[in-house]
Structure 1
């Protein structure tokens, strides 16, 4: 599965609604404090909402206490609790359709098919959703007030909950955008015409549906025999399974995708002599890079070989990484004289980029979010980071994605070169594999613009102020 875009509104410095296109490799550019990190933090916040169902996180399980989020009151635009944070995603699920079979048991499937002839196997390659997060001053907490799901860009189901209420209802259902039995078209017409009013779905104080369980339509204001009098139970089961596939299937896929999300911060630690690698580290250890050393030490021989080959062949590095002889962590050997060294005994760039290389190589990591991977790196190594990302997105068919905040023009220049087919091309790359996002401050808020790459390896729009222009000023 691929995340095709992220929608952000009223989050940190981003006031206006922005639909930000994402690709296997997405690079975020802009001046300092222009809002680049806000996009990555929105991803982390959405993780907390979707996976941990926490709309008011002070810290994230992804970053631990390394990154202070501060909860809704700190994250909402202008720190105004009367504002509503809107987040959403557009997904490409064309490679992950098995999830749509998880909302009905074999016995229920037989019940439906034997008694109705209907087959509850609807699917779409392009589901999307948006959710609104508000502050409830009655209970002093943030909550998801509205959840909107879409099928191929068209509204499908909208769930809502009123502040202080404990009942979630559907204010909109349109099954015309979701293939179900023709017999339910009358139901769709009745709902769209408002004949039933809001449809109660389940008890709760959040509009975010629970993707771990099928929808329960136990309290609807109609009799199922009105739609299929031969077997009302079969009609109810069919409706629950079909609607769940469209509403909850994408959430399940996203939760699986988020299980492979790591975020690496801008400053990575250099392991000390006493460093002990953890076999099952917390995700928060990725923020300062420690989990990269954990992953290498306890990783497979194949992973260790791939990391060392990248350093040798692409970085032209004379060091190789090995498990420390005394079992504490990772050491290095100088290939020219076989001396064993600690990470602190070599140049900072060697160890600073190490967690990123490991994360890129690990097959169980689906999303790598990183701030400034180029720190302490020579330009010759910076350009190789672009090749690393492009190569790994081709390597993994599961849809590996990189979201990178960077100031490196060397990385983007290599990207353009690979798209237009530079010499020594390691793999065929396409413009659709990359997306460049530029952030800038305008009238006190973050403005975001998308800069695409043409098949000829050039920008499809003029590059904003800074970066390449600054270099030209110094040269000429």
Structure 2
């Protein structure tokens, strides 16, 4: 799960060190301070991942429009790279499938699953001949102190892999590294190229290229009677250890029947400056680069593609909508397809949504169908009113509320026999527009999930996170009230304050404010919501 997110050289956000993404994260700041750029990064990444492109970023798409690389890079300096930094609390790395053709050895299968904690994936893009390209990817996981840095050329070819600053690309030998072009988070594929058409032995599809390099390193030190496949078989067992330690190596040596190899393994690491131990340790971690990088990329892609976005400019409601037989799985960023979304719901789902909104704001919704047309009505007691005949703020908040409700309930209300995947994040810009401050405050209740229906209190999905860009003092204060009332934990909410630097760098710094146990704001700038009349 995404725990932190940071940016470098993205518009005003020159160097934003990864900040926590709490279950509820508010972005506040004066106009043109960079908070919208931060939030819109997620729909930007989503439209880039979901659309088939020839470049890693689709600057203009269905969700947001950033123009071009030159328009998005800090100070329009095309010599700089833009970096997206993802910090994950953990990543499950599945070792590659290994197959040995020698009949003396069975199929080895897959290696063990490795849980890497506190993982950071830093992906950088640049420009080459006016085209955005993947420039560099850095991957590290702190529990083992390992850092990978991969560099790509202008065609997407992998040109360098550093493992803790030691180059490893040459150790891939006769393996072909394939990096799909046009992907910000590519799945790197490695094929072992046969030396001749009659060759048999070890073949890999998703990695393990360093096994051959280790075999070349150890072969001169071992009994010449050891067959290449036999040696590779033992090395793959060595490389599938949980971690490269003297204790694990000795355990692996006990499983080896070849005396010369057993002796060599038992002696590894006994000398203070054991070069062979250092070389094998390097190859051990190099061998894990591909599955580790791919696992992190998959995790980030999953988080991004399972996110939703609602923009600040939402479509005006109409008195009637033409009926269309469309199945709508999510609401557009401008809410334009909101009527078709409602029409895609079952009657029980519309009732559930209506009851949830009614418990918040005192009115429910009803969808009326006539020949060829749809009408959205508000229901207050026995009074039914077309939404066009109500305040403008009501029509603007309905798509936001429906998006929140759907994000929480999508997996519960899957429309197929196979359950839908949970939403990971919902990013909303200025949900409070055109609302009275009292109704702005009630948005906090919608986010927290305190609204209840006949079935009892609704609980927010443990995976769902809200990223809200807002100017509403009422919304901020209401969250503090809910914390004071013990309806929300202070650890579940934070405020990111975007403040332009006072120098001429056109840069923004981000400060973090949290709530105390009594709902008080900590590290909050004095007079933040007041006009600055000083000259």
TM band (smaller chain): 0.7 to 0.9
Alignment match, 2:444:
386
After TM superposition, the structure 1 stretch with the greater mean CA deviation from structure 2, 274-283 or 141-150, is 274-283
Q: Which runs of 5+ in 2 are unaligned?
A: 190-204, 219-227, 241-283, 411-422, 452-457
1:108-119 mapped onto 2 (5 Å cutoff): 119=111
Deviations 1:221-272 (A, max 9, x none): 7254656962526856957995444221122122222222222111211332
1:411 pairs with 2:469: no
In the other structure, the counterpart of 1:257 is 303
TM-score norm. by structure 1 comes to 0.78
Higher relative contact order (Cα pairs below 8 Å, separated by 6+ residues): 1
Query: Is the counterpart of residue 16 in structure 1 residue 15 in structure 2?
Result: yes
Find the counterpart in structure 2 of residue 182 from structure 1: none
Equivalent residues of 1:293, 1:355 under 8 A apart: no
Q: Structure 1 residue 147 and structure 2 residue 137: aligned?
A: yes
Structure 2 distance, partners of 1:221, 1:167, is 21
Offset, 1:117: 10
Q: How many residues align?
A: 430
Distance 1:256 1:466 in 2: 36
Q: 2:395 aligns with which of 328, 351, 364?
A: 351
Q: SS where residue 286 of structure 1 aligns?
A: coil
Q: Distance in 1 between matches of 2:507 and 2:325?
A: 42
Give the aligned partner of residue 202 of structure 1: 177
Match of residue 441 from structure 1: 500
Q: Does the alignment pair 1:400 with 2:464?
A: yes
1:149-189 deviations in whole A, cap 9, x for unaligned?
Answer: 12137443221113x35530442236xxxxxxxxxxxxxxx
**Structure 1 residue 367: deviation in Å?**
1.8
The answer as to whether partners of 1:215 and 1:243 remain within 8 angstroms in 2 is no
CA distance in 1, matches of 2:300, 2:166: 32
Query: Residues 410 and 275 of structure 1: is their aligned pair in 2 closer, same or farther, counting only changes over 3 Å?
Result: farther
SS at match of 2:321: coil
Closer, same or farther in 2 for the Cα pair 1:347/1:173, shift >3 Å?
same
Q: 2:315 aligns with which of 262, 265, 269?
A: 269
Unaligned segments of structure 1, at least 5 residues: 175-191, 423-427
Structure 2 residue 69 is matched with structure 1 residue 72? yes
RMSD of Structure 2 on Structure 1 (CA): 3.7
Distance between the aligned counterparts of 1:460 and 1:198, measured in 2?
52
Distance between the aligned counterparts of 1:417 and 1:448, measured in 2?
A: 24
Shift of 1:418: 1.2
In the alignment, which residue of structure 2 is the partner of 1:120?
A: 112
Q: Deviations over 1:332-368 (max 9, x none)?
A: 15344454x4321222222211111111111343321
**Matches of 2:346 and 2:35 in 1, distance apart?**
34
CA 1:258–1:462 in structure 2 vs 1: closer, same or farther (change >3 Å)? Answer: closer
Distance in 1 between the 2:34 and 2:390 partners? 34
Which residue in 1 is equivalent to 2:433?
375
- In the alignment, the residues of structure 1 paired with residue 370 and residue 176 of structure 2 have an alpha-carbon distance, to the nearest angstrom, of 59
Residue 50 of structure 1, CA deviation: 4.9
Given candidates 82, 85, 98, the residue that maps to 2:82 is: 85
1:6-85 mapped onto 2 (5 Å cutoff): 6-52=5-51, 54-61=55-62, 63=63, 67-85=64-82
Tell me by how many angstroms 1:327 deviates. Answer: 6.1
CA contact (8 A) 1:120 1:242 kept: no
Counterpart for residue 322 of structure 1: 367
Query: What does residue 157 of structure 1 align with?
Result: 148
Query: What are the Cα deviations for residues 126-146 of structure 1, in whole angstroms up to 9, with x where unaligned?
Result: 322101111113xx3111111
* C-alpha contact (below 8 Å) 1:201/1:219 kept by paired residues: no
Cα distance in 2, alignment partners of residues 212 and 286 from structure 1: 32
Q: Distance in 1 between matches of 2:171 and 2:388?
A: 63
1:135 aligns with 2:127: yes
SS in 1 for 2:15: coil
**What TM-score comes out, normalization by structure 2 length?**
0.70
Provide the rounded CA distance (Å) in 2 between the counterparts of 1:157 and 1:167: 16
SS at 2:351 equivalent: helix
CA distance in 1, matches of 2:324, 2:424: 22
Judge conservation of contact 2:159–2:169 (CA < 8 Å) in 1.
no
Structure number with the higher strand fraction is 2
Q: Which has the larger radius of gyration?
A: 2
Q: Does 1:305 align with 2:351?
A: yes
Q: Distance in 1 between matches of 2:78 and 2:135?
A: 14
| Partners of 1:277 and 1:329 within 8 A in 2 | no
Between 1:220-229 and 1:319-328, the stretch displaced more is 220-229
DSSP 3-state at the match of 1:395: coil
